[in-house]
Structure 1
Amino acid sequence: MVNDLHKELTTLLARLYGDVSSKLKENAAAVSEKCKIVVSGDSNSGMNSVMNTVLGTDILPNSHVLSPGTICCVHTVPSDAEGYFVIQMENGSSERYSYPKEPGTFHGLLCDIMQGKKSQRIQRKTLPL
């Protein structure tokens, strides 16, 4: 009886929507693509505040920590993975820093590391939002 129901549903869906299996794979691929958001503006115009509001958490560093023109990339990691960030300096060198998952530790650590240094790109690997 269950097999009959499965066959009937499969036949009905195929009649209504065509190859459902292919459509599900297409939709899964579309959903899994990375979403890129670009925010651009003058220094101290509130870009990080806007993005933190959109993301629903204070995930981007304060502007006084960053050099002008610094690109911030936020990526997610699995919940059992360690959070970390990578800073690429103006001279091309880059370093990876781990940080505890307690709120506020990312910003404090970044402030300590960046004192007097100029960055070009910061990539943060964090838990899913």
Structure 2
Amino acid sequence: MSDIPADLKYIETHQWVRVSDDGTATVGITDFAQAQLGDIVYIGNPEVGVTVNGGEEAGVAESVKSASDVFSPVTGEVVAVNEALEDEPELVNEDPYGEGWMFRVKLADTGELDGLMDPDTYADHVAAEA
């Protein structure tokens, strides 16, 4: 079973979101997603300043096996991207919930979080796909 931290929310396309006290949300792909992709060689993040929409494509993760769209779990303005991934995309494989985060957004509507999966629901989702 892949690692599923209890402090995050998830979406069906295997992205996670961690909300900070300052109203920003950090987004990345799950341990399950990085394992399915294999060795990641490129991460394409959205530009700082653009608005991403919950459930819509916001970037891409490319591996030696395939390319996969990355969807934003939440709507908001991108306030930061993980620039370390430009030179070290493998951080997503090594630490998907830590150093491998992808981008941060200033949440447009915190109520949107209520529609996301909790860890138990996401674990069931992963089990059904495995």
TM-score (norm 1): 0.26
Rg bigger for which structure?
1
Between Structure 1 and Structure 2, the one with more helix by share is 1
Q: Which has the higher contact order (CA 8 A, sep 6+)?
A: 2
